[in-house]
Chains A and B, each alone.
Chain A
Amino acid sequence: MKILLENVTKIFPGRGKGAKEVRAVDKFNFEIPDGKLIGLLGPSGCGKSTTLNLLSGLLQPTEGKIFFGEDEVTNLPAEHRGVGLVFQNYALYPHLTVLQNITFPLENLKGDAKLTKEERVKRATEAAKLVQIENLMDRKPGELSGGQQQRVAIARALVKMPKVLLLDEPLSNLDARLRLQTREEIRRIQKETGITTIFVTHDQEEAMSISDMIVVMKDGLVHQIGKPQEVYDNPTNLFVAKFLGTPPINVFAGRIQNGALYVGEDKLFDVSADAKPGDVYVGIRPEGFVLQADGPLHCSLSRVEVMGRDMSVVAGHPAFLDASIRAIIASENLAEISGDAVNFDVKPGKVLVFDKETEERMYI
Chain B
Amino acid sequence: MEKNNLKAWLYLLPAILFLGVFMVYPLIDVFVYSFEEGYNSASQTFFGIGTYNYSYVLRDPYFLQALKNTFILVIITVPLSTGIALLISLGLSSIQKVREWYQTIFFLPYVTNTLAVGLVFMILFKKTPYSDGLMNLLLGLFGVSPIDFMDGPYWAKMFVLCFYTVWVVMPFKILILTSALASVNEDYYKAAKVDGTSAFRTFGRITLPMISPMLFYLIITGFIGAFKAYSDAVALFGTNLNAAEMNTIVGYIYDMLYGNSGGYPSYASAAAIILFVIVLTITCINLLLSKKYVHY
Q: B99 interface residue, CB < 8 Å from A?
A: no
Q: B295 interface residue, CB < 8 Å from A?
A: yes
Q: B109 interface residue, CB < 8 Å from A?
A: no
CA distance A84 to B210 in the complex (A): 23
Q: Is the CB of A56 within 8 A of B196?
A: no
Closest approach, in angstroms, between the C-beta of B59 and any C-beta of chain A? 48
Given contacts A91-B187, A95-B209, contact A58 B195 (CB under 8 A): no
Given contacts A94-B295, A95-B210, A108-B201, contact A89 B187 (CB under 8 A): yes
Q: Is the CB of B195 within 8 A of A160?
A: yes
Q: B194 interface residue, CB < 8 Å from A?
A: yes
Q: Is the CB of B194 within 8 A of A93?
A: no
Most buried by A among B194, B201, B212: B194
Query: What 1/0 flags go to B177-212 for Cβ under 8 Å of A?
Result: 000000001011011111111100100011001101
Closest approach, in angstroms, between the C-beta of B201 and any C-beta of chain A? 7
Q: Is the CB of A93 within 8 A of B188?
A: yes
Q: Is the CB of A78 within 8 A of B194?
A: yes
Residues of B within 8 A of A58 (CB): 190, 193-194
Per DSSP, chain B at the interface is helix
The contact of B190 among A87, A96, A104, by CB within 8 Å, is A87
Q: Is the CB of B295 within 8 A of A91?
A: no
The contact of B194 among A83, A89, A96, by CB within 8 Å, is A83
Closest approach, in angstroms, between the C-beta of B290 and any C-beta of chain A? 13
Closest approach, in angstroms, between the C-beta of A154 and any C-beta of chain B? 13
CA distance A84 to B192 in the complex (A): 11
Residues of B within 8 A of A105 (CB): 195-196
Residues of B within 8 A of A77 (CB): 193
Residues of B within 8 A of A87 (CB): 187, 190-191
Residues of B within 8 A of A156 (CB): 195
Given contacts A93-B206, A95-B295, contact A80 B190 (CB under 8 A): no
Residues of B within 8 A of A83 (CB): 194
The contact of A79 among B193, B209, B212, B295, by CB within 8 Å, is B193
Residues of A within 8 A of B198 (CB): 108
Q: Is the CB of A85 within 8 A of B194?
A: yes
State which residues 156-185 of B face A: CB under 8 Å: 185
Q: Is the CB of A79 within 8 A of B190?
A: no
Residues of A within 8 A of B212 (CB): 95
Most buried by A among B185, B191, B209, B295: B191
CA distance A85 to B193 in the complex (A): 10
Query: What 1/0 flags go to A233-267 for Cβ under 8 Å of B?
Result: 00000000000000000000000000000000000
Most buried by B among A57, A58, A108: A108
Residues of A within 8 A of B195 (CB): 79, 104-105, 108, 156, 160
Q: Is the CB of A91 within 8 A of B190?
A: yes
CA distance A89 to B185 in the complex (A): 10
State which residues 68-113 of A face B: CB under 8 Å: 77-81, 83-85, 87, 89, 91, 93-96, 104-105, 107-109
CA distance A78 to B194 in the complex (A): 5
Residues of B within 8 A of A94 (CB): 210, 295
Closest approach, in angstroms, between the C-beta of A163 and any C-beta of chain B? 13
Closest approach, in angstroms, between the C-beta of B35 and any C-beta of chain A? 47
Given contacts A94-B295, A95-B210, contact A79 B197 (CB under 8 A): yes
Residues of A within 8 A of B295 (CB): 94-95
CA distance A108 to B204 in the complex (A): 13
Given contacts A91-B188, A95-B295, contact A80 B206 (CB under 8 A): no
| Chain A residue at smallest Cβ distance from B191 | A91
Cβ contacts A to B, 28 pairs, < 8 Å: A58-B190, A58-B194, A78-B190, A78-B193, A79-B194, A79-B195, A79-B196, A79-B197, A83-B194, A85-B190, A85-B191, A85-B194, A89-B185, A89-B187, A91-B187, A91-B190, A91-B191, A93-B206, A93-B209, A94-B210, A95-B210, A95-B295, A104-B195, A104-B197, A108-B196, A108-B197, A108-B201, A156-B195
A residues touching B (Cβ–Cβ < 8 Å)? Answer: 56-58, 77-81, 83-85, 87, 89, 91, 93-96, 104-105, 107-109, 156, 160
- Which 6 A-B pairs rank lowest in CB-CB distance, beginning with the nearest? A95-B295, A79-B196, A105-B195, A91-B187, A91-B191, A95-B209
